[in-house]
């Protein structure tokens, strides 16, 4: 498989995994209104997490093919995507102060740099 196709699979599977996990976090936050389990939201959360985890496991195979061997780096990719997904999906990022938004962007950029620079040094 070409490096470009492999990179596209890593990107696509990681984004989809992060999107599903972010949905799971949003659903889980709605699963206990008033201290009582709402089965609709609880089951939706579990299904989203199962889907996200399944995509992540497949993504790791292609990450390794792209030279991203370290578990910390693999999970950092997922972390960035999931964190951004949660912030966007629950619209909380719109309520952050400008300073918080800037720091959030800098953290995401820093993690991306760490992933890229470490992956390059492992090759």
Q: Are 12 and 50 in contact (CB under 8 A)?
A: no
Average pLDDT over the chain, rounded to whole?
87
Tally of domains within the chain: 1
Rounded distance between C-alpha atoms, residue 15 and residue 1, angstroms: 20
Please give the residue range of the domain that contains residue 108. 3-122
d(C-alpha 96, C-alpha 91), whole Å: 10
120 — pLDDT class (breaks 50, 70, 90): low
Q: What would the pLDDT profile of 51-88 be if each residue is shown by its tens digit?
A: 999 999 999 898 888 877 777 777 777 888 888 888 88
For 34, 81, 97, 118, the CA distances from 20, given in Å and listed in that order, are 25, 10, 27, 26
Maximal C-alpha separation, the chain: 52
Helix axes 3-30, 39-65, angle to 10 degrees: 160
Q: Which of 1-15, 22-36, 52-66, 68-82 has the highest mean pLDDT?
A: 22-36
Q: Model confidence at 6, in pLDDT bands (50, 70, 90)? A: confident
């Amino acid at each position: 498989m070409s490096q470009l196709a492999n990179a596209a699979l890593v990107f696509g599977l990681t984004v989809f995994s992060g999107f599903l996990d972010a949905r799971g976090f949003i659903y889980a936050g709605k699963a206990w209104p008033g201290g009582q389990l709402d089965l609709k939201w609880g089951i939706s959360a579990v299904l989203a997490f199962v889907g996200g985890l399944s995509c992540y496991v497949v993504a790791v195979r292609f990450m390794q093919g792209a030279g991203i061997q370290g578990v910390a780096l693999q999970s950092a990719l997922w972390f960035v995507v999931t964190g951004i997904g949660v912030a966007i999906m629950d619209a909380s990022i719109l309520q952050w102060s400008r300073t918080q938004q800037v720091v959030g962007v800098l953290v995401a950029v820093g993690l991306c740099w760490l992933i890229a620079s470490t992956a390059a040094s492992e090759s």
